[in-house]
């Protein structure tokens, strides 16, 4: 919609330069308003196709939904709207997301006989993903301090840590491990062992990340700490527990 508004503004500017009569703001606003719901539905349709749910959100379903809201469109208009969305994004829509990594790992865990049901883990993972998004900086700051065992990281250490922030697979295993601890802490070590086997990520890294997420979600006291303990020591304790049970 932003792209469309920019295009309208660009066209209006050109018309003024060429001394042509430009559409007034009221007319332009109505055009944007009338296209908003259609564009929104097109985004949902495209997302469903990427997630292999295209049979659930079919063109007929969409047309009936729009009609219930008082909007009448044809299948051709739906396709044109999808194409407009794709053009606005330069056809770059198949971008990786942390959720895609989480769901892929959960599916593998289900096949591997994970003791915690994948449906339960999935619901908790969604909540923790939202939390990590909202508390991105403090969670990664605590993870950085734990990894270098220093409360004051240097600028160079911070720059090298950027690759960790961009690692969606590491984020996914941390999210799932933290979710497993919340759902059933007795099965936590088994889940972490499976994640280590699937991804090759070290147990200590999974433990440190899950601990960072847990301390910002359920709190340190819930993890059984009675008094302050340095994060890296707690993570090592979690890692030792995982090693002894796998």
Yes or no: say if 170 and 201 are a contact pair by the CB < 8 Å rule: yes
pLDDT at 226 over 50: no
CA–CA gap between residue 204 and residue 93 (Å, rounded): 34
pLDDT at 49 over 70: yes
pLDDT at 94 over 90: no
Q: Tell me the percentage of the chain whose pLDDT exceeds 90.
A: 20
Coil, strand or helix at 91:
coil
Q: How confident is the model at residue 12 (pLDDT cuts 50, 70, 90)?
A: low
Residue 137 is given by DSSP the state H
pLDDT, one tens digit per residue, over 176-193 is 999 999 988 888 888 999
pLDDT of residue 189: 87
pLDDT, one tens digit per residue, over 101-135 is 998 899 898 888 887 888 889 999 999 999 999 99
pTM of the complete model beyond 0.75: no
Long-range contact list for 33-41, CB < 8 A, 24+ apart? Answer: 34/71, 35/1, 35/4, 35/81, 36/1, 37/66, 37/69, 37/71, 38/66, 38/71, 38/73, 38/77, 38/78, 38/81, 39/1, 39/4, 39/81, 39/84, 39/85, 41/65, 41/66, 41/78, 41/81
């Amino acid at each position: 919609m932003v792209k469309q508004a920019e295009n309208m503004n660009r066209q209006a500017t050109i018309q003024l330069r060429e001394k042509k009569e430009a559409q007034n703001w009221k007319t332009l606003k109505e055009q944007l308003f009338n296209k908003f719901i259609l564009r929104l539905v097109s985004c949902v349709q495209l997302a469903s196709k990427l997630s292999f749910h295209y049979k659930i959100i079919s063109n007929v379903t969409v047309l009936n939904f729009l009609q219930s809201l008082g909007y009448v469109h044809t299948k051709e208009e739906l396709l044109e709207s999808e194409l407009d969305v794709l053009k606005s994004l330069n056809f770059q829509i198949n971008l990786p997301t942390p959720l895609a990594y989480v769901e892929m790992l959960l599916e593998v865990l289900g096949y591997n006989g994970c003791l915690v049901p994948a449906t339960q883990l999935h619901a908790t993972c969604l909540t923790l993903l939202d939390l990590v998004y909202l508390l991105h900086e403090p969670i990664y700051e605590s993870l950085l301090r734990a990894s270098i065992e220093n409360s004051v990281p240097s600028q160079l250490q911070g720059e090298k840590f950027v690759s960790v922030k961009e690692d969606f697979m590491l984020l996914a295993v941390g999210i799932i491990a933290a979710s497993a601890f919340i759902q059933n802490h007795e099965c936590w070590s088994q889940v972490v062992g499976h994640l280590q086997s699937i991804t090759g990520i070290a147990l200590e890294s999974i433990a440190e990340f899950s601990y960072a997420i847990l301390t910002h979600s359920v709190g340190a006291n819930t993890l059984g700490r009675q008094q302050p303990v340095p994060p890296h020591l707690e993570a090592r304790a979690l890692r030792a527990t995982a090693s002894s049970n796998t």
